Amino acid sequence: MKPGRFLQGATLASMSALAHASSIEGPVPDHVDLNPVAIGTFLLFVLVTLGITRWAARRTRTTKDFYSAGGGITGFQNGLAIAGDYMSAASFLGLSGMVFVFGFDGLIYSIGFLVGWPFVMFLLAEPLRNLGKFTFVDVVAYRFEQAPIRLLTASTSLVVVIFYLVVQMVGAGKLIQLLFGLPYWMAEVIVGALMVVYVFFGGMTATTWVQIIKAVLLLGGATFMAVISLAQFGFSPEEMFRRAVEIHPGEASIMGPGKLLKDPLNALSLGIALMFGTAGFPHILMRFFTVPSAKEARKSVFVATGFIGYFYLLTFIIGFSAITLLAQHPEFFKTAVDGHFNLTRDLLGGSNMVAVKLAQAVGGNLFYGFIAAVTFATILAVVAGLTLSGATTVSHDLYACWLARGKGSEAQEMRISRISTLALSIVAIGLGILFEHVNVAFLVGLVAAVAASANFPVLVSSIFWRGMTTRGAVVGGGFGLVCAVLLTLFSKSVWVDVLHQAHAPVALDNPALISVPLAFAGIWLFSMLDRGARAQREREAFALQEFYSQTGILALKAAEH
Amino acid sequence: MQQIHIDLTKASPAYRRLVASRRRFSFTLTALMILTYYGFILFVALAPHMLAHPLYAGATTSMGIVAGVGVILVAVGLTGWYVLRANRAFDPSMRALIAAAAQGD
């Protein structure tokens, strides 16, 4: 099969989903040569990470090791790992591609992805560390009835994890096809198999180090690329912008907001989904249990926010400088017989290839191979984090804390978490192959919306609002989940992009504007109406929960054991 | 820590004050971040021409680019501010409170 035949569906659907930008898809290259440097660098990465997994496996004996690396990760390491977990291939290639095509609008998206982090810091990081053991569900369930709360939050977490995995797998398959010339199914199997090995044997310790190494490689590679690109403009951003405007088909319009955000309501809704989605992703929240104290948890958010912000600035420089620098390389484009090409539409492989093509333009084949391998590594780090989070949800939240009522044996829990790891990866590979030809963009919107409308409101209310009860949490979270799913199903991304209808029944592209307030309203109303004895007990338990949340005494005790 | 110390601490006015001031600080920073980000988004949606305006006469760099980079810096800056205040003020006060309660009997 010719690689890349189905790339019309945008390599990294996630970004185009947010952008609704069909124009960033591009022509498909005729064939992709196997790149020896890319394969060599990637093999080196695999060897090193497998070595680390071997080392980590020897230190992974208990469930605590498996879920949270024994709580022995430092704040700085965790910050890097969070950045590694969060900076996906979609954000590296997608954002730089968006800047290349739309200019300023790309920056708006980067900012949306970043601003969730301060909220994690101000509202969640310390209470998470101080109240929870292994998952954010522990925090939500702290003073409530275990069964309903665990069931609801575990299902929303699994929805988020599985669909996000599918998005990553589909994106990975198409990207690897394009970069390495491997068939789609083979890419799925390689990614799936490696993530199983990391998580199954090395648990959180291996996952953390895979993410740290990937973060260092990606930040280093992107820094190098941004610096040598800027050097071409005498290190003057003004010069870079000036020459980009001269050559870009959009001319001066790329320096200001364009058509990407079509109206204020959609802009607002997307903003809410991006912001609160970050603060509701189970695989991100889980990382806070790997550090020993609230102080280290704070440090990790600061380090992560700094690196992620820096990374987005780099993608902006990469995208903008690529406008001028790629235009000097007609061989990267599909040219007409007269030698002309459209800068934004004719790039081979589409705009997701901007960063890798720029690597080739400024650093030659060697650097191109390096960046391609780093992109592959990036995918692995993200899917490993997701798989671990999904497996923990099944074995800790569903089995140990609910089904076994806290009486299950350690060995049994460990076995279940490893079986879940295997099961999740089979699901991920299967759905990845099944969804090859589906435009999975809607899943990205869905995942962010569910995280923002079901997980975040319940979590933040359980921490800050004394009045919340089990009933309020379950009904409110349920509202958020159902509303987010329904509105997404009837939105443009499913109705038009997948089902090919002319119009969507729901005008809102992302449901967050409605579903997030609805969830909070549901929590408030049904908690207020809850007058039972259980509700009374739950409200009274708040003072003690707050005490533990504020002092961290619980976490301290747990660390001593 | 024994139950009696926990109850002692929870009931103490100093503890209530500390919790309240910490909460106020968190919520203030949250509000600042929301204001910054949605202020930016409102400009994008309602006054895009202002963001497209050149930074100075003859410049290609626009106000929007500076504003955008500014929002990123504000986000990182506010998280840094939180860490500083928590490390320097909140943590030592809380430790002192707990130590006092543990000695109090």
Chain B residues lying within 8 Å of A547, measured CB to CB:
6, 9-10
- Give yes or no for residue A235 having a pLDDT over 50: yes
Within 10 angstroms of residue A117's Cβ, the number of other Cβ atoms is 29
Closest CA to A285 of A427, A138, A453: A138
* Burial group, residue A113, by CB count within 10 angstroms (0-12, 13-18, 19+): buried
- The question of ipTM being above 0.85 is answered as yes
- Give yes or no for residue A559 having a pLDDT over 70: no
The mean of the pLDDT values for chain A is 86
Taking only residues 32 to 71 of chain B, the set having a beta carbon closer than 8 angstroms to any beta carbon of chain A reads 33, 37-38, 40-42, 44-46, 48-49, 51-54, 59-62, 64-65, 68-69, 71
C-beta atoms of B79 and A302 within 8 A: yes
Q: What is the pLDDT of residues A503-532, one digit of tens each?
A: 888 888 889 999 999 999 999 999 999 998
Question: A106 lies in a domain?
Answer: yes
Question: A433 lies in a domain?
Answer: yes
Report pTM.
0.90
* Tokens found for residue A170: 């589909």
Contact (CB, 8 A) for A253 and A35: no
- Give yes or no for residue A23 having a pLDDT over 60: no
Strands in A224-383 per DSSP E: none
C-beta atoms of B78 and A118 within 8 A: yes
Identify the pLDDT of residue A121. 94
CATH number for the domain harbouring residue A165: 1.20.1730.10
Question: A560 lies in a domain?
Answer: no
Identify the pLDDT of residue A18. 39
Please tell me the number of Cα atoms within 13 Å of A141 on its side-chain side.
22
The share of chain A scoring above pLDDT 90, in percent, equals 52
Contact (CB, 8 A) for A443 and A491: no
For residue B18, give its domain range: 3-103
Question: A456 lies in a domain?
Answer: no
Domains held by chain A: number: 1
Across residues A450-476, what is the average pLDDT? Answer: 94
Across residues B62-79, what is the average pLDDT? Answer: 95
Q: What is the pLDDT of residues A130-171, one digit of tens each?
A: 998 899 999 998 899 989 999 999 999 999 999 999 989 998
For residue A407, give its domain range: 7-441
Instruction: Show Cβ contacts of residue A176 under 8 Å, excluding neighbours closer than 6 positions.
Output: A182, A187, A190, A191, A376
Q: How far is B44 from chain A (nearest CA, A)?
A: 6
Across residues A395-421, what is the average pLDDT? Answer: 88
Residue with tokens 């533990």: A548
Q: What is the pLDDT of residues A73-91, one digit of tens each?
A: 999 999 999 999 999 888 8
Quick check: helix, strand or coil at residue A295? Answer: helix
Q: What is the pLDDT of residues A297-338, one digit of tens each?
A: 999 999 999 999 999 999 999 999 999 999 888 888 888 888
Closest CA to A287 of A134, A435, A400, A477: A134
- Give yes or no for residue A33 having a pLDDT over 80: no
Q: What is the pLDDT of residues A475-512, one digit of tens each?
A: 999 999 999 999 988 888 788 888 888 888 888 888 99
Domains held by chain B: number: 1
Contact (CB, 8 A) for A241 and A106: no
- Give yes or no for residue A220 having a pLDDT over 50: yes
Alpha helices in A393-440 (DSSP H): 410-434
Closest CA to A518 of A281, A269, A275: A269
Please tell me the number of Cα atoms within 13 Å of A209 on its side-chain side.
20
C-beta atoms of B82 and A298 within 8 A: yes
Q: How far is A439 from chain B (nearest CA, A)?
A: 28
Q: How many residues does chain B have?
A: 105
